[in-house]
Amino acid sequence: MIARLKQLLFQNKNTRQTVIKNVFWLSFSQIISRGIRALIIIYSARLLGTAEYGIFSYALSLAGFFTLFADIGLSSILTREVSQKPERASEYFSTAFWIKVILLIGTAFAVIFISPYFSKLEGAKALLPLVAFLVIFDNIREFCNAFFRGKERMEREALITLLTNIAIAFFGFLALSSYRTSTAITVSYISSAGLGMLAAIFMLRNEFVHIISNFRKELVSPIFSAAWSIAALGLLGVFMLNIDVIMLGWLRTASDVGLYSAGQRIVQVLYVLPSILAASTFPALSRAIGKNESSQVKNIMERSMAIIFFVALPLAVGGIVLGVPIVAFVFGSEYLPGALTFQILMATLLFVFPGTLIGNYILGYNRQRDVAKFVAFASIGNAVFNYIFITPFGIAGAALATIVVQSFYNFFMWRFAKKIHNFQTLYHLKKIGVATLIMGIAAFLMNLVGFHILVTIALSGLLYIGVLVILKEKITHEILLIVRGI
């Protein structure tokens, strides 16, 4: 039994077993880590109040915005090249690392000296020098994780993720127990990120020992050539996650930023789910593309898309139907004015979840340059729609702008992906759609008659799975095989 578990969870034997192993470790680490981080976020939001929590969220959003310039797609390129060319993994790691160091120096300078001009919140400006350290520590840790993904050693990434988030909770509670300020919680984040970075470096100490000797000048140009277009793709993600908060900081108050960020935090936690599946399947997908195995590529995409919508549809509908009681339960009645914003943002799951897989699919074919124009229009459009909608509709307008841009962007990305190599999606969603509809109606009725929100969520989830089992949906059988395998 123990030997079998070790083979399943710590070795790479075949594509199916390796994907199961990767999904298990990333799910295990992310679910526990996000749960731990959620506790400190909820605690800090309740303790600090909307204004002080808004300052903290605004500072983190600025950090997220500038993180784009510290990576420019290097992590994705590293994962792809390590999975496709394992014999040159150390060379790609060392070369990309020195590029990363140069970018981090420039980004830290921008955070400290340029980002203050983006903020009208004086409290947030004081945090920016600290945020520069957070950007550096987070980026180096994620760069190391990208190498683990390329090697399909997600168990190591899981350990680093768990360690970092446990530290965030520990240092966060410790800091807030003495100092109820945005500065205190920011310092706790920085300390935790630094600890996670050191753990990642220790695990890759053999690579870092040869970080100079393995540098290859001839790889710099190919890495940059591939990375800039990925950076353009990443720009949309950064805008979607951070530009709303940044513009709210310009046009509204710190309390509005706090209200918006509260609901956004829940949604961002859910965004991790497609990332787990995308990261777990990307090495296998990339290898199949490299070997021109069309049937294998099609099989991976169709199965992955079915699983993605199996999760996304009930989450989106459930979040929209139960938005008000969820916000009240998690953050308290002070945050209820942000419930509508949360409900709107939950609809983005229908675009972000499949979009994560589509992005990896396009990257695997090295066609990211061809979709840069979509990203450019979407990024500019998001800022424009934010400006138009925030003035009359406030924080709900920022969420509405995100929905509008996401729908157009993902429509064109989807069309482009299917032109590369066609795969079926809607064909697999009929039974999932029926089960989601039944679940949504039941959740609405349970909430109407006064069921506790946790009871409503639990019963709705069981009903959803039960309907799919009755309808003999294939995806439930696939998931059951994965569970049995683990």
* pLDDT (0 to 100) of residue 474: 76
- Residue 137 covered by a domain: yes
- Residue 254 covered by a domain: yes
- Residue 424 covered by a domain: yes
- Residue 467 covered by a domain: no
Question: Is a pLDDT exceeding 80 seen at residue 397?
Answer: yes
Residue percentage of the chain with pLDDT more than 70: 87
Q: What would the mean pLDDT of 92-115 be, rounded to a whole number?
A: 88
- Residue 455 covered by a domain: no
How many independent structural domains does the chain possess?
Answer: 1
- Residue 136 covered by a domain: yes
Q: Is 471 helix (H, G, I), strand (E, B) or coil?
A: coil
Question: 483 CB contacts (<8 Å, ≥6 apart)?
Answer: none
Question: Is a pLDDT exceeding 90 seen at residue 79?
Answer: no
**Contact indicator for 231, 312 with CB cutoff of 8 Å:** no
| Domain span at 22 | 2-428
Residue written as tokens 């509670």? Answer: 173
User: 48-71: per-residue pLDDT in tens?
Assistant: 777 777 777 777 777 666 776 777
How far apart CA 361 and CA 413 sit, in angstroms, is: 11
Q: Is 243 helix (H, G, I), strand (E, B) or coil?
A: helix
Distances in Å between the alpha carbon of 129 and those of 50, 113, 142, 232, 360? Answer: 23, 9, 21, 26, 34
CB atoms under 10 Å from CB of 140, counted, come to: 22
- Residue 477 covered by a domain: no
Maximum alpha-carbon separation in the chain: 68
CB atoms under 10 Å from CB of 280, counted, come to: 24
Confidence of residue 478 (pLDDT cuts 50, 70, 90): low
User: 154-211: per-residue pLDDT in tens?
Assistant: 888 888 988 998 888 888 888 888 887 878 888 888 888 899 999 999 999 999 999 9
| DSSP of 377-396 | HHHHHHHHHHHHHHHHHTHH
**Contact indicator for 280, 26 with CB cutoff of 8 Å:** yes
- Residue 472 covered by a domain: no
* pLDDT (0 to 100) of residue 435: 93
